[in-house]
Chains A and B, each alone.
Chain A
Amino acid sequence: MAYSEKLLDHFKHPKNVGTLDKTKKSVGTGLVGAPECGDVMRLQIEVDEDTQMIKDAKFKTFGCGSAIASSSLATEWLKGKTIDDALKIDNMAIVEELALPPVKIHCSVLAEDAIKGAIKDYKEKNA
């Protein structure tokens, strides 16, 4: 399968790989997917309490090249956004940006779910 340059770049040089301290109140974690499905995405955000701005985002992903690139791109987009704006990130924007082939669209869906999951976790912690 021929992938786009952007996708390959995110795969080869993934941005924001890592782990945030999930016990912190300011950190929200989204863990989606399942090992038996061939992809697991963990996306974490650290939110500034006063501005509701995402000041850091990290990911780790078990999955194919598209899943890794989708999560890398998602963390880049998240940083600097308010959580309300982050909720507006649509999986199709990821599909477009990375030129994902049709069989890989589920990777972008997973990334969107991971974003939503992380925000939900943060909100629950801070409710």
Chain B
Amino acid sequence: MAVKSIYLDNNSTTPCDPRVVEAMLPYFHNIPGNAASRNHPFGWAAEEAVDYSRDQIAQLLDVDAKEVIFTSGATESDNLAIKGVFEMYARKGNHIITLETEHKAVLDSCKKVEKMGGEVTYLSVNRDGIVDLEKLEAAITDKTILISIMWANNETGVIQPMKEIGAICEKHGVLFMSDATQAVGKIKTHPKEVGVHLMAFTGHKMYGPKGVGCLFVNRKNPRVKVTSQMDGGGHERGMRSGTLNVPGIVGIGTAAELARLEMDADAARLSALRDKLQTGLVNKLEECYINGSEEHRMPHVTNISFKHVEGEGLMMTFNQDIAVSSGSACTSASLEPSYVLMALGLGDDLAHSSLRLSLGRFTTEEEIDYAIDAIAKGVTHMRDLSPIWEMYKEGVDLDAVEWAAH
């Protein structure tokens, strides 16, 4: 059976749902207005579309539409939340707590905050990728203004104990921000239910378009404000200036509505397929390790290390047919293996050997069957080529070998 182009990299981006594309199309030419043009029907039509989308998103999150700020994507939302809170609450304190396993958009925003005179604590996670709540609470000082913890991890799919973190934030009067890019639209993400005050996400991880995202900003109890990082016409209640991306906003709104209606069915179907994929590989191959908690994990993701096989080489055995990603150093410009997997306590060798398989709304069972075979064949081929697999099979203690590190 020749299945072509199987996409198992939905954590990097999802294909836009055709229904989303269809909803967006009129807003490129037929309805071209600027949502800020208050004095003619072109502007009114655009504004109406934006309001409608804001409602769709508010419904998905169970928040007030006024609490939804449109941005260009999750990276911008993360930047706005972290730097914006740091500047706005400078009189209250200058300390932020986050995790080592956060996305670079959060980590690099925190680095910038440090350059601006802030202090940041980067907490480690346990072997499962989950924050230690006691350590978190102990890290809070009277200068702490913000705790930024992602809802679900992009590499492992591990979900953090949001409610418990929210309770700690509430107890200490600290704002809780969450990069929920990987979670929104895939599992229930109601910020108010768990005590999240700021939440960043994007369209293109939930079958919407690229180039549009949101920041949820809590308006009541507490009323949260962020200092704008983009100055101009005072759009989005002054928090994010710039002409609104109307087609994109229509797209993310439609995607949000589809997610609200189809999320449960998608999650049930995908977790069954994900389990089939994971079990299929583990049953066919020795020495596979699942990275991160399996219990607290997104339904569509698995991250597996295939010992003594290097991830990039492995991907090359099937990347004509199947798209996945790897925590191997060879896939990154830095030549360092995934810092997320390293933070879980994996050795470098297992981090180099990892594949992230992320399914999506358009993944079929036939594709999963094909992928199990192709990946298993790839691993076997690469192990036949691998001197350390041979040594392992001969019973050589690899830790005792004096390697010529380079």
Asked whether A64 lies within 8 Å of B403 as measured between CB atoms, the reply is no
Contacts of B337 in A (CB 8 A): 38
- Which of B335, B349, B382 interacts with A35 by CB under 8 Å? B349
A60 within 8 Å of B by Cβ?
yes
C-alpha gap A104/B335 in the complex (Å) = 10
Name the distance in Å between B332's Cβ and chain A's nearest Cβ: 9
Contacts of B388 in A (CB 8 A): 35, 40, 62
Q: What is the size, in residues, of chain B's interface with A at 8 Å between Cβ atoms?
A: 29
* Chain B residue at minimal CB-CB distance from A63: B310
B332-376 vs A, CB cutoff 8 Å, 1 = contact: the mask equals 010101000000000111001000000000000000000000000
A125 within 8 Å of B by Cβ?
no
Asked whether B405 lies within 8 Å of A38 as measured between CB atoms, the reply is no
C-alpha gap A72/B24 in the complex (Å) = 51
C-alpha gap A122/B406 in the complex (Å) = 23
Asked whether B405 lies within 8 Å of A60 as measured between CB atoms, the reply is no
A37 within 8 Å of B by Cβ?
yes
Interface majority SS (helix, strand, loop, mixed), chain A: mixed
Q: How large is the interface on A (under 10, 10 to 19, 20 to 34, 35 or more residues)?
A: 20 to 34
Q: Which residues of A pack against B, CB within 8 Å?
A: 11, 14, 17, 19, 31-42, 60-68, 103-104, 106, 109-110, 113
C-alpha gap A64/B328 in the complex (Å) = 9
Interface pairs (7), CB distance under 8 Å: A31-B404, A33-B405, A35-B352, A35-B398, A42-B387, A60-B385, A65-B313
Contacts of B133 in A (CB 8 A): none
B390 within 8 Å of A by Cβ?
yes
Name the distance in Å between B351's Cβ and chain A's nearest Cβ: 9
Asked whether A40 lies within 8 Å of B403 as measured between CB atoms, the reply is yes
Asked whether A63 lies within 8 Å of B313 as measured between CB atoms, the reply is yes
Asked whether A64 lies within 8 Å of B310 as measured between CB atoms, the reply is yes
Asked whether B310 lies within 8 Å of A34 as measured between CB atoms, the reply is no
Q: Given that A64-B328, A64-B330, A65-B316 are contacting pairs, would A34 and B405 also be in contact in the complex, using a CB cutoff of 8 Å?
A: yes
Name the distance in Å between B401's Cβ and chain A's nearest Cβ: 8
Contacts of A61 in B (CB 8 A): 385-387
B140 within 8 Å of A by Cβ?
no
C-alpha gap A11/B315 in the complex (Å) = 12
Name the distance in Å between B236's Cβ and chain A's nearest Cβ: 38
Asked whether B310 lies within 8 Å of A33 as measured between CB atoms, the reply is no
Asked whether B390 lies within 8 Å of A19 as measured between CB atoms, the reply is yes
